[in-house]
Structure 1
Amino acid sequence: MACYFRRTIAEQVSRTMGVPSERILPHIHAGSVHRKGESPDFWLFLKSVLDDPLEAAHYQEKAEQLTDKLVSDSVISESGLERGVLTFKVNRPLLVKKVMDKIRQDGTTYGFQSEILSNVPKGLTLVEYSSPNIAKKFHVGHLRSTIIGNFIANLKEAAGNKVLRVNYLGDWGLQFGLLGAGFSKFGCEEKLKSNALQHLFEVYVKVNAAVEKDEETKLSAYEFMRELDSGHPQALSLWTHFRGLSIEEYAKVYKRLGVEFDEYSGESLYRQKSQDVLNLLRSKNILQITNEGVGVVDLTEYEDSPVNATVMRSDGTTLYLTRDIAAAIDRRQKYNFDEMLYVTDKAQQTHFENLFKILNKLGEDKVDRCQHIMFGRIKGMKTRRGEVIFLDDVLDEARARMLQNMAKAGTTKATEDPAETAEKIGVAALIIQDFKGPLQADYSFSWDLALQSTGDTGVFLQYTHARLQSLLTLWSTREDDDFSVSCLQEPSAIATLQHLLRYDEVIYKTLKELQPRYLVAYLLALGHLANVAIHSLQVKGSPPEVAHARLQFFNNIQVVLASGMKLLGITPVNKM
């Protein structure tokens, strides 16, 4: 639909300039909607099309000459020039007809059927995200990895990729030596049954404190880890028990967030294969042993100064990096992925840089398709009880605050399950607050800002969706697709349709940069436009023909708003 207009504009400009339309097409963009005054539908920065430097230097003059030659036709009703940028206005009835029909035709896939997305690479995308450490409660630090990874997986899937969602658990290493040794001293089976992760957390805190004072406790932790490495039945049984309980508890949190995984993996899967990695590094003369007996890989060729990455301890055991190398090789062999994305905090940047460099030295052929999606830290997230540690506390707080707000507004009677509605709105608030800025940036969290019902918040998006849903209960003739375009010529309708026109470009940019903020900004703007339209385009009391056209229009807004929210990981509510 937008591509139809872009191509028509490109063909007219091509005829006028004598430049191939295929060269012009990528530089034609749908315009942003201005709050004051009518906005152009499309614009073309002519300088980006001109090759000759002399011509480029006089592009303003060229643009003026070109504008004079362009003519209005059945598609382009008007063209102009604003600060060296060619602008185009399309025929208003045609704009209404094309946008409305395209959304009705594509439904939830609207925006993804566009020609500009046709060259986006497709294939198998493996996304590794969340990755909590088992036998520990789901820490709030894993919130960003979970919701960002879920968003990227949703986006890739919507774009036509086959997506494998992997939760790579931290389920091996010295922490289990500590926990195994600590459970024999501080553990209680009854407490484990009643609240597994809370009790394991308490044991972990106690054993860490004991290690600081008691050398014997530290030695027993190393001994338990050696037993695990050697496959001692009792140690493995306890580890398996802790792992199973952890996954059960995590599943409850993921359900609240609307997050699912195709595969639960973990470091433990690669404890043997990491020894194969060491052998491979030896066979290729990549592994170097220091005077202390530590195994390292020299990465100086990638740096300006000498740099070594440690892959083996002096006792011959492997590290997190070694296991990540084993996992990457195993996934390439097992899945033959087209791209693999690791969604983790930016503090792990050096780790992934070293991982990709070592894979490159080993001759792995898909290293260039591996990417670390970095994100910053959340600052200042507190509950009424104080500093937040665990994610379920955050979700409980969001739900409780929303319930309180809903009760004050007197709207809880409108919902069948107020707590469930409050949970969905609370999750939306967390996600929008998180996704509004660049992922790499740290940000300060504010409950007051996140839970505002007006402004650029997840609560506002949910409110808009519920308001549209309420309005659509008036629609009794949905089976009739025909409508009169003359009934949708008001400024608020045109502005909203102009905004819907550029959805494919927003999707393309979001896919290209894997930054949710572009989609968030678009949906928030759509929400504001929708509320203006709801206020100005009355349905009740309007003639049947007008009411029907407006309800089709509001239905289309809801389709795009809901599908965009779901991409972000938000479950739209119908009442609030």
Structure 2
Amino acid sequence: MDYSSSRPRPENGTIHPAPGRAERRRKAGRGRRKGRSRPSEWCHSMAACSFRRSIASQLSKVLDLPPENLIKAISAVPVSKKRHVADFQLSIASIAEDGSSNCLTENLQLQAQKLAERTVLQQVLKDGSEYGVKSELFSTVPRQKAVIEFSSPNIAKKFHIGHLRSTIIGNFIANLKVALGHEVTRINYLGDWGMQFGLLGVGFQLFGNREKLKSSPLQHLFEVYVEINKAAEDEDTKKLAKDFFRRMEEHDEQTLSLWKQFRDFSIEEYIRIYERLGVHFDEYSGESFYQEKSQEVLKMLEDKGLLQKTTKGTGIVDLSEKKDLSSFSTVMRSDGTSLYITRDLAAAIDRMNKYSWDTMIYVTDKSQSNHFQHLFQILKLMGYDWAERCQHVSFGLVQGMKTRRGEVIFLEDVLNEVRSRMLQNMASAKTTKEIEDPVETAEKVGLAALIIQDFRGLLSSDYQFSWDRALQSRGDTGVFLQYTHARLHSLEQMHGNEQLTDVNVACLQEPDAISVLQHLLRYDEVLYRSSQDLQPKHIVSYLLTLSHLAAVAHKTLPVKGSAPQLAQARLCLFQAARSVLANGMKLLGITPVTQM
């Protein structure tokens, strides 16, 4: 399919930080990071990959030098869309003492380039889904156990659009770590405890309807929550809410039964949304799990002399260097009950005991940076050195996300909107073919559009959402990635999905073919970079460039009508491009479509 879209229109409106963890930590500081990362033309910290070793081995015969001397001198640089440069270059000065002859330099660089290009196709098709991750770049990276906490909505509330970022970012990090051979546990830490459930419990007693709760649970609970919040200014209502929550903490059977219904209905509806997003979790836990263990944490803090009492009776931990209370964290209410951070402390300790993890990553919006800084500091003060292996991956706000009905609140509305718009665009496109399941295709392409627009920049940056820009079929969009993948898949089908063997890659001499080959060589470096800073933008940029290069090659390098040997080599090139494109899309949480 191929259709155009009008220029993006400026839109107003801001999506604020996701509820759930954000609501549960509304007192957290709002640290901001500005600035863009500067793309580097050289990957300075890379180890020798299999291509470099292969090239070095063959060049060593020409130069009569040990391969080890050559590996460090071979480096990859990004391919340019506007000009063709050798993706692999050889630093002659680092291997020849006199740094001499220009002729020798050019000759060696040419040989390095040719050898690399001739190797890459066989490597892509041989490694399949493991291409890139099997690179020697990762040979010195130890395999680890990673716990990743992400999404984390508040139960009894519909899935807010603000949760989209936490969910897809956490999913990407988990996907990447699994692909690189790490053992990953995905945890959804639900906001399922606290005074708000006392308020909701009273609200349901006053305004609730059992039938509505069964038929549309979260919509009904949302309506109840709106009503009870209007009444919450009344002191009698506040007292009823406190009493309800007190009975929950005292394990009153009736109040806990109602709370459990809220929780079960919520998880059931969340799972349905997660299926649409292609996301799964290994564990659903929540603050309720750590209600009692948080009391053990308070006892530990007291035993270690870390817990101090204020004049109001609240419990605090002094975090200041000079121990002058210039920085502290409140960990206990005046009545002795725990707070969000206390339960987080208990959860972190429990997860270490349960999983013996090497790294634990929390994915939440950047307003919670202060909370996690305090959390990690307290754990360290308690003597847990592994606190240094905890990490907070923060993200910014989405601005301007509105549906046709106006300002958006719920994620499901956005998913339905993007699917509807994609169906409309597909139906009006002249090149759209008959699709077996257009609704499912529109869902997958629409989700790709959302993910790519979200992942193009630095995660900590806010960004302006635009439906027009996100859904364009041309340009740097998820729709274009999906279209390119479907087009290359169609090309393979036209030629019978042949298993290509003994392909003469030397046939591929055209600049457009060389550009694709050179770009394929860089995939391992891009994966390595994303694995270091956990930013998906490196992979997004790589895939968009690959799609543009493949689109150009598709036009200029026909398979049909070419000489058999050349046709087979070109088909091999396009198969390799599609394979790497699919691999990268899956890491980002996108399901590649085969028709469009």
Calculate the TM-score normalised by the size of structure 1.
0.90
Asked if residue 389 in structure 1 is aligned to residue 415 in structure 2, the reply is no
Q: 1:95 aligns with which of 116, 121, 124?
A: 116
| Range 470-479 or range 532-541, more displaced | 470-479
- Distance verdict in 2 for CA 1:207–1:408, change over 3 Å: same
Report the equivalent of 2:538.
518
- AA of the residue aligned to 1:183: F
2: distance between equivalents of 1:410 and 1:15? 56
> Which residue of 2 is the match for residue 240 of structure 1?
260
Q: Which residue of 1 aligns with 2:76?
A: 30
Question: How large is the RMSD of aligned CA atoms in angstroms?
Answer: 2.7
Match of 2:237 among 217, 222, 247: 217
Q: AA paired with 2:107?
A: E
- Deviation at residue 539 of structure 1 after TM alignment: 1.3
1:544 offset after TM fit, Å? 2.3
Q: What corresponds to 1:418 in structure 2?
A: 438
Q: 1:8 to 1:109 in 2, by over 3 A?
A: closer
Match of 2:101 in 1: 68
Contact 2:543 2:584 in 1 (8 A): yes
Q: Counterparts in 2 of 1:118-157, with a 5 A limit? A: 118-157=139-178
Q: CA deviation at 1:15?
A: 12
Aligned residue identity for 1:292: K
After TM superposition, give the deviation of residue 95 of structure 1 in Å: 3.3
Residue number in structure 1 paired with 2:279: 259
Asked if residue 163 in structure 1 is aligned to residue 196 in structure 2, the reply is no
User: Structure 2: how far apart are the matches of 1:45 and 1:227?
Assistant: 73
Q: Aligned to 2:321, what secondary structure does the other structure show? A: helix
**Superposition pairs of residues 400-549 of structure 1, within 5 angstroms:** 400-410=420-430, 414-476=434-496, 478-549=498-569
- What residue in structure 2 maps to residue 208 of structure 1? 229
1:190 is aligned to 2:211: yes
The reply to whether residue 113 of structure 1 matches residue 134 of structure 2 is: yes
1:358 aligned onto 2:378: yes
Checking the alignment, whether the CA contact within 8 Å between 2:485 and 2:592 is kept in structure 1 is yes
Find the aligned partners of 2:83 and 2:209 in 1 and give their Cα distance: 69
Q: Which amino acid aligns with 2:87?
A: D
Corresponding residue number in structure 2 for 1:573: 593
| AA partner of residue 337 (structure 1) | W
Inter-partner Cα distance in structure 1 for 2:437 and 2:205: 44
The alpha carbon displacement at 1:419 in A equals 0.9
Write out per-residue CA displacement over residues 23-66 of structure 1, whole angstroms, 9 at most, x where no aligned residue: 9856743121123332022246899x8xxxxxxxxxxxx99951
Contact kept, 8 Å, 2:89 with 2:113, in 1: the verdict is: no
In structure 2, how many angstroms separate the alpha carbons of the residues matched to 1:31 and 1:442? 30
Partner in structure 2 of residue 84 of structure 1: none
SS of residue in 2 equivalent to 1:171? coil
Paired with 2:155 and 2:167, the residues of 1 have a C-alpha distance of: 15
1:28–1:43 CA contact under 8 A, matched in 2: yes
Measure, in 2, the Cα distance between the counterparts of 1:11 and 1:106: 21
- Measured against aligned partners, the alpha-carbon deviations of 1:248-303 in whole angstroms (never above 9, x if no partner) come to 10011100000001110110000000000000001101000000000000000289
TM-score (norm 2): 0.87
Q: C-alpha separation between the residues in 2 aligned to 1:423 and 1:13?
A: 49
SS state at 2:285 partner: strand
Q: CA deviation at 1:10?
A: 6.8
Instruction: Please identify, of 1-10 and 221-230, the stretch whose mean Cα deviation from structure 2 is larger.
Output: 1-10
Residue aligning to 1:310: 330
Q: Tell me by how many angstroms 1:193 deviates.
A: 1.6
The verdict on how the C-alpha distance between 1:477 and 1:156 changes in structure 2, with shifts beyond 3 A counting, is: closer
- How many percent identity over aligned positions? 58
Residue 322 of structure 1 aligns with an amino acid whose one-letter code is T
CA distance in 1, matches of 2:507, 2:172: 37
- CA shift, 1:424, in A, is 0.3
2: distance between equivalents of 1:5 and 1:383?
Answer: 48
Secondary structure, aligned partner of 1:344 = strand
Matching of residues 360-379 of structure 1 within 5 Å: 360-379=380-399
Which structure has more helix as a fraction of its residues?
Answer: 1
- Could you give the per-residue CA deviations for residues 106-151 of structure 1, whole angstroms, max 9, x where no partner exists? 1011001111111223111111000000000001111000000000
User: Contact between 1:12 and 1:70, CA under 8 Å: does it hold in 2?
Assistant: no
- 2:356 counterpart of 1:332: no
| Matching of residue 78 in structure 1 with residue 107 in structure 2 | yes
Please tell me whether the aligned partners of residues 341 and 371 of structure 1 are also in contact (alpha carbons under 8 angstroms). Answer: yes
Q: Distance in 1 between matches of 2:283 and 2:393?
A: 19
Distance in 2 separating the partners of 1:89 and 1:41: 10
CA contact (8 A) 2:81 2:549 kept: no
- Inter-CA distance 337–231: structure 2 relative to 1 (3 Å threshold): same
Q: CA deviation at 1:546?
A: 2.0
Q: Which residue of 2 aligns with 1:40?
A: 86
Distance 1:344 1:247 in 2: 19
The alignment covers a number of residue pairs equal to 550
Instruction: State the alpha-carbon separation in 2 of the partners of residues 2 and 90 from structure 1.
Output: 18
Is the 1:475–1:548 contact (alpha carbons within 8 Å) kept by the matching residues of 2? no
Q: Which moved more, 1:483-492 or 1:410-419?
A: 410-419
Q: What secondary structure sits across from 1:271 in the alignment?
A: helix
Contact conserved, 2:317 with 2:328, CA < 8 A, in 1?
yes
Shift of 1:105: 1.2
> Where does the alignment leave 5 or more consecutive residues of structure 1 unmatched?
50-61, 80-87
Q: Provide the C-alpha distance between the structure 2 equivalents of 1:150 and 1:92, rounded to a whole number of angstroms.
A: 36
- Could you tell me how far 1:488 is from its partner in structure 2? 1.5
Distance 1:507 1:215, change over 3 A: same
Task: Give the Å deviation of 1:175.
Answer: 1.2
Alpha-carbon shift at residue 89 of structure 1 (Å): 3.5
Quick check: 526-535 or 92-101, which moved more?
92-101
Q: Is the 8 A contact 2:50 2:135 kept in 1?
A: no
What's the CA shift for 1:440? 0.4
Alpha-carbon distance between aligned partners in 1 of 2:61 and 2:378, rounded to the nearest angstrom: 53
Q: d(CA) in 2 for partners of 1:438 and 1:63? A: 41
Aligned to 2:385, the other structure's residue is in SS state coil
Change (3 A) 1:69 1:35: closer
Instruction: Give CA-to-partner distance per residue, 1:524-575, whole Å, 9 cap, x none.
Output: 0000001011101111122222222211111111110001000000000001
Three-state SS of the structure 2 residue aligned to 1:89 is helix
